[in-house]
């Protein structure tokens, strides 16, 4: 069946949940531009096809980002040949099939991978040791297989969020030390994996840890959480182990389950952490009852499916609404014959069977009195009900205002609906006053058109940056809404993290992670006192490129930033670059892929100006400005300007000269360093600049006049990684040096020519 549709499969085509049978057609391997192969939830069987001398296969799909083949009947081994180092895969989902044999070691060659799902198969053998090369991996599921040997080592996988190794037959082992080094880990499942020994205290200090599932092992000793545990931790499940003691914690809302451990025997059996109710069962694995069969209807009954068909309701994708079903079931419709005239009335016949006594004067008077009294009582009752309903409505409205952080959102003023959030915390104004010592001058760390930025200290000691709008701000409700909506759903180490917001008492505030080394603009201009050598500039360029590539290619839906510039690239304590300030950003749906017609934002003074007449930022893509067709390539242009800024130490527009044109005029590719040494940043001009020519070529390709001629951000990332390898740097290595050990400009030194005090800046967060 699939063979008939293979040739019509085009980029980003999904064929999931269609009950397709048969085998995967090898001819799919000929679709060289395929972006997503999604055959999830079908009845496909047989092996995974790979190419040979005469037949194509899935290993030929080197440009494909997604292999979604889960929930089928695929069998046989996963071929070694299916993975290679030149592939662009980010998702490999083979879960819930009948695959056997070992995990191919070639999987560790696909360094772009972010999600791997091999769970619920019959895989065997040991886990390949080279999987820890996948330093971009965020989710790894290997549960419910027959994997054996020693527990694999995933040290160095700092982006890993979710790890599930449950229900395998690994060799008996203590909890490996590398688990405590996974700084991004949020969820750890290692149920029934032959673990023994004590649970290390430092496991719970991982900053992002939320869930730990270690039940059905042989863990023993005393469970100690410690004092430095993650403030996001909410579940620790250690059922069916050998835990004999517990150093309890108070005042924290963490669900701890120790049922079926020695500590819960006899007198402690009723302790909260020894009781497991049906509602708080934590297992990820459930088996449906074998006797759960669909109900049948007798000859005088109609199934729900037949009901939908008879009422012309779609049955392939039915969304049930109780109110709609109730209306259809409980209403009758009267349709008069088409050949008669209306209007139509229902007229009741007179009823003449009452006794004549009802016509006597006494009975008539009684009826009148009774009717008056009854009417009065009914009126009084209606009045009481109305008063009660009015008071309840006011009470409910007041409660809604108190619980809804956007209850006072002015739709008319902002021209937008209220923000839709995904996890950002709502801070009260009084909390933020306390954290900033009443917004004291000592905590004032930056300013700009939006308002001021304050340093705050949370109760757990964590530093935050609080961006507070002021009256008359150049940004309004739309920018505030955009930034909290986007950043609450975006999580990447090269994108600044939004912790929460405040929207009350006429205030609009955004609370971010504290980024101590300010912006790239400040560092290039000499304001921060940090000197950037060539290798550190490459590292910063790579981090910023990775953050932007994540927004373009991996965020769902993709995001166009629209305001890439040096003041919006922040540097943390290790000088890791973080993309910031999403006030002008825009989500791009699949239907809008290619271009979006939108109002030009940001950096130009008026239409039809030569680039030399742009304002002092000069990052805006001229094609976007002239056509108003917004694509990801507009961000690529801005990033190219940023790269030139990093090597020259000059602002994009300086003394009426535009950096792109100046580099283009001065560049001579026949000479050393393209003859650009005279316009390079003095801080690096006299140092070894291996790979500079390739870096300049990349920057100039990003600022090509036509967006179609510019690379994607994913291609930019790969090119910077290649340059770093030429220099002898490891693109995936984390710097172990704190910012305090970086070079610092000597006191009394000449101000950097890049400085311009007229440009408002923030030492922690661009505004």
Q: Which residues carry a binding-site annotation for ATP? A: 467
CB-based burial label for 339 (10 Å; 0-12, 13-18, 19+): exposed
Helix (H) or strand (E) holding 698: helix 692-702
Alpha helices in 609-677 (DSSP H): 622-627, 632-648, 659-666
Q: Determine contact, residues 627/649, Cβ cutoff 8 Å.
A: no
Q: Determine contact, residues 243/472, Cβ cutoff 8 Å.
A: no
CB-based burial label for 608 (10 Å; 0-12, 13-18, 19+): exposed
Helix (H) or strand (E) holding 188: strand 187-189
Residues belonging to the binding site are 467
Between the alpha carbon of residue 30 and those of residues 44, 49, 62, 767, the distances in Å are: 20, 12, 11, 48
- 594: helix, coil or strand? coil
Question: Cα Rg for the chain, rounded, in angstroms?
Answer: 33
What gap in Å lies between CA 519 and CA 353, rounded to an integer? 94
Q: Determine contact, residues 514/764, Cβ cutoff 8 Å.
A: yes
What gap in Å lies between CA 593 and CA 655, rounded to an integer? 38
Residues 6+ positions from 760 with CB-CB distance below 8 Å: 447, 448, 449, 767
HEC-encoded secondary structure of 160-181: CCEEECCCCEECCEECCHHHHH
Q: Single out the residue of 222, 230, 179, 166 nearest to residue 204, CA to CA.
A: 230
Between the alpha carbon of residue 326 and those of residues 310, 394, 681, 734, the distances in Å are: 16, 29, 73, 60
Q: Judging by DSSP bridges, how do beta strands 195-197 and 218-224 pair with one another?
A: parallel
Q: How many Cβ atoms sit within 10 Å of the Cβ of residue 575?
A: 21
List the catalytic residue out of 59, 119, 164, 563.
563
Told to judge if 95 belongs to the known catalytic residues of this protein, a careful annotator would answer no
What gap in Å lies between CA 396 and CA 325, rounded to an integer? 28
Rounded to 5 degrees, φ, ψ at 261 are: -120, 160
What gap in Å lies between CA 458 and CA 435, rounded to an integer? 6
Which residues are the active-site residues? 563
């Amino acid at each position: 069946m699939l063979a008939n549709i293979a040739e019509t499969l085009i980029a980003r085509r999904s064929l999931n949940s269609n009950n397709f049978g048969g085998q995967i057609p090898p001819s799919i391997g000929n679709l060289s531009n395929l972006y997503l192969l999604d055959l999830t939830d079908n009845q496909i069987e047989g092996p995974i096809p790979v190419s040979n001398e005469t037949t194509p296969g899935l290993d030929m799909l080197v440009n494909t980002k997604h292999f979604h083949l889960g929930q089928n009947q695929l069998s046989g081994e996963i071929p070694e040949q299916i993975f290679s180092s030149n592939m662009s895969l980010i998702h490999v989902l083979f879960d819930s099939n009948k695959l056997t044999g070992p995990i191919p070691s070639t999987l560790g060659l696909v360094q772009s991978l972010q999600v791997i799902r091999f769970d619920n198969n019959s895989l065997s053998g040991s886990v390949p040791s080279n999987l820890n090369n996948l330093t971009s991996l965020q989710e790894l599921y290997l549960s419910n297989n027959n994997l054996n040997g020693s527990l694999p080592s995933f040290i160095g996988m700092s982006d890993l969020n979710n790890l599930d190794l449950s229900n395998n037959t690994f060799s008996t082992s203590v909890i490996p030390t590398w688990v405590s080094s996974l700084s991004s880990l949020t969820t750890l499942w290692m149920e029934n994996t032959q673990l023994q020994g004590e649970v290390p205290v430092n496991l719970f200090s991982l900053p992002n840890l939320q869930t730990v599932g270690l039940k059905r092992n042989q863990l023993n000793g005393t469970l100690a959480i410690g004092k430095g545990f993650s403030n996001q931790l909410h579940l620790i499940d250690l059922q069916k182990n050998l835990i004999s003691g517990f150093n309890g914690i108070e005042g924290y809302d963490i669900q701890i389950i120790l049922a079926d451990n020695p500590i819960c025997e006899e007198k402690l059996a009723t302790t909260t952490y020894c009781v497991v109710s049906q509602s708080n069962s934590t297992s990820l694995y459930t088996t449906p009852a074998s006797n759960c069969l669909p109900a049948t209807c007798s000859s005088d009954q109609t199934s729900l499916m037949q009901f939908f068909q008879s009422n012309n309701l779609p049955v392939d994708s039915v969304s049930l609404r109780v109110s709609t079903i109730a209306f259809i079931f409980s209403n009758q419709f009267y349709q008069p014959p088409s050949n008669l005239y209306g209007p139509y009335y229902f007229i009741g016949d007179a009823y003449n069977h009452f006794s004549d006594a009802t016509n006597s004067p006494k009975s008539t008077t009684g009826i009148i009195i009774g009717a008056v009294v009854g009417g009065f009582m009914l009126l009084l009752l209606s009045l009481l009900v109305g008063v009660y309903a009015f008071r309840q409505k006011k009470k409910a409205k007041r409660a809604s205002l108190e619980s809804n952080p956007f209850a006072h959102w002015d739709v008319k003023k902002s021209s937008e609906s209220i923000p839709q959030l995904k996890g950002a915390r709502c801070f009260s104004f009084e909390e933020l006053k306390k954290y900033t010592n009443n917004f004291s001058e000592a905590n004032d760390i930056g300013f700009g058109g939006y308002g001021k930025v304050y340093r705050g200290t949370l109760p757990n000691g964590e530093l935050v940056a609080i961006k507070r709008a002021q009256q008359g701000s150049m940004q309004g409700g739309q920018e505030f809404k955009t930034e909290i909506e986007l950043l609450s759903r975006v999580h990447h180490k090269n994108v600044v993290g939004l912790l929460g917001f405040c929207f009350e008492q006429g205030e609009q505030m955004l609370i971010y992670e504290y980024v101590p080394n300010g912006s790239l603009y400040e560092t290039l201009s000499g304001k921060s006192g940090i000197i950037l050598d060539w290798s550190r500039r490459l590292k910063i360029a790579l981090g910023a490129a990775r953050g932007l590539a994540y927004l373009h290619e991996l965020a769902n839906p993709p995001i166009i930033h629209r305001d890439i510039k040096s003041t919006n690239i922040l540097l943390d304590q290790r000088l890791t670059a973080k993309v910031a300030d999403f006030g002008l950003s825009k989500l791009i749906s699949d239907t809008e892929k290619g271009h979006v017609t939108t109002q030009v934002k940001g950096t130009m003074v008026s239409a039809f100006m030569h680039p030399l007449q742009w304002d002092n930022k000069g990052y805006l893509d001229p094609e976007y400005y002239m056509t108003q067709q917004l694509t990801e390539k507009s961000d690529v242009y801005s990033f190219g300007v940023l790269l030139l800024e990093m090597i020259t130490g000059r602002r994009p527009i300086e003394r009426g000269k535009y950096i792109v044109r100046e580099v283009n005029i001065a560049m001579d590719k026949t000479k050393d360093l393209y003859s650009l040494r005279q316009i390079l940043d003095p801080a690096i001009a006299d140092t070894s600049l291996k790979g500079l020519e390739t870096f300049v070529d990349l920057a100039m390709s990003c600022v090509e006049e036509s967006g179609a001629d510019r690379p994607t951000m994913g291609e930019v990332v790969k090119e910077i990684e290649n340059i770093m390898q030429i220099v002898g740097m490891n693109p995936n290595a984390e710097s172990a040096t704190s910012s305090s050990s970086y070079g610092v400009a000597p006191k009394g030194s000449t101000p950097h020519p890049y400085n311009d005090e007229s440009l408002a800046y923030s030492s922690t967060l661009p505004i």
